[in-house]
Structure 1
Amino acid sequence: MTQDVPPLTEPLNNNEYTAEDIQVLGGREAIRRRPGMYIGSTDQRGLHHLVYEIVYNSIDEAMAGCCTKIVVTIQEDGAVYVEDNGRGIPVEVHPATNTSALETVMTTLHAGAKFGGHTYQVSGGLHGVGSSVVNALSSWLRVNVRRDGKLYQQEYREGIPDEEVKVVGEASDTGTIITFTADEEIFGKAKYDFDVLSERLREMAYLNKELEICFKDEGKECEKTFYFEGGTTSFVRHLNRNRLVRHRQPIYISKTIDSTIVEAALQYNDGFAESTFSFANCVNTVDGGTHLTGFRSALTRAFNDYAHKNKLLKEDEPNLVGDDVREGLTAIISV
């Protein structure tokens, strides 16, 4: 005897499925409806991601050799202010969109100078979507561009331009200022963590030697400035600052291969644990990657070659393994 099995879910009253049921969302609407797809979450981590994405644009200018200073300010009203002395976002009309290049970058997904490899050899963040995502997730955003002797400005509300790009003054230098307020409907009341943001900005300064990053929280009256002439070498010294090191100066290696710059800085301490951090385009690759695997393999091979060459290992003795050579190691790998 068989028994009828009820359906797992109740059927919809309307069994019709037509072309009208398929929604096509524009870039801005898609971002606002599913922000987690672009910035990971809408909690404090997502809020911080908005700051990082704007700073990444300034970092790209620094990595291109066109920016020496970045100022990041959390204003008393919760707005975020990011200024750099780079080349400034172009304001000419873009041939593909028939709007200014500035508006195109701020409102169009996958619009930017990071794809062809001509303007930026390397870049970080959400390539070509970072600024437009931040704009779409902000209740208000203003861009000021200093370029060609003029000061340009454009404001947006929830990613929609309030007006055309206009000239609001003169400028004696170049650069970009972006000020935005994260949308409370999406993130709730903005609560930025000064310590978390400052540590990330410190990392960026270490990875871009001789770049000055000033960070201020006006509400908490906190301020820090980061500038490191040693770059990744200074980073290693910072990580080993409370440890007894085995050699005074960190070992620094740098090489350019097919326009890719590879940097490694390492120093041994009296501990047993390994502290190796890897970065790609200034973004921490917490899950590792081929750059980290290659470094570890090369380090083990170098130790074994040296040990055999100097008769420290006999022919019948097994080679050193990775755990042997990485004990007490502090290293930074950046590509």
Structure 2
Amino acid sequence: MPRSPNDLTLMNHDRSIASKIVELIQADGMEVGSHLPAQMLADRLRVSRSPVNEALSLLHEKGVLSRERNRGFFLARPVEAPLSDVVDALGLAQADVVTSVYFRIADDLLKGALPQAFSEQMIRTRYGLTNAQLAAVLGRIAQEGWAERKPGYGWEFSTMLTTPDSLLQSYRLRLALEPAALLEPGFRLEPSVLARCRAAEQHLLDGGIQTDTADQLHERGVRFHESLVEASGNPFFIDTIKRVNRVRRLLSYRSMQDRQRYTKHCKQHLQILNLLEKERNEEAAEALRAHLKHTLDALSRIAGILKP
């Protein structure tokens, strides 16, 4: 029996989520045997558990994951090849189309080439999308907070964080918040989280700065900083930093045109981790403040590439 359009949309959405799960596996440097809890993935990808469970089942069918009764899914084999190669090998190429168009829309928005309000038909026609691809692209954009459906009909892009000043303002907020998180009374950075963060930085220093996609670079940076704030145990800090990271994504991608600064960033991240491992939190907070100030100054100097 032929699949309905809704079935195809759901199938392609599951493939897109599966591709993002593979990307997270690589970004976190997960080893064979690592547990992939559905709720954790749903929180990380900001989707419900249902599509995550479908994507996990798909990756299980592909042999990437194993499944244990009453325990869930575990990484069955290494996922070390470049993401695009893994996606092709697993037949998840639909996600590549979605990602490509996602970045084209982001760039066009920052160039001022798209109207603030838009229809699905306009996006479908302009970028040559199928209904399934359109649903996946708009779903991702909505999840990341830079567009939303208007009451009644059509869509509207958010005006937040589409100018260079907006990105700099977000860093000034982080400069006030993140170092303070390290000084919270309940701060505790689990050894497993510390090891994961350290491995991600080493991956970048070993060549990932040049080879990782903008998606991967952004996700690694987000996970480092969110992991530190999450260790504070303060839900107000955690919610604020996640909201900021969700909406600063657009300009963060464009700033990645200049990757020379990432080597120094990685070394600063490793220094902060070393201090936290030794429970020298006040020194770590000062190092984090200096790191964010360095990034803010660097972004101020390259503001030209953030402009339309």
Q: Same fold (TM over 0.5)?
A: no
Larger Cα Rg: Structure 1 or Structure 2? 1
Q: Which has the higher strand share?
A: 1
TM-score normalized by the length of structure 1: 0.25
User: Which structure carries more helix by proportion?
Assistant: 2
Q: TM-score, normalised by structure 2?
A: 0.27
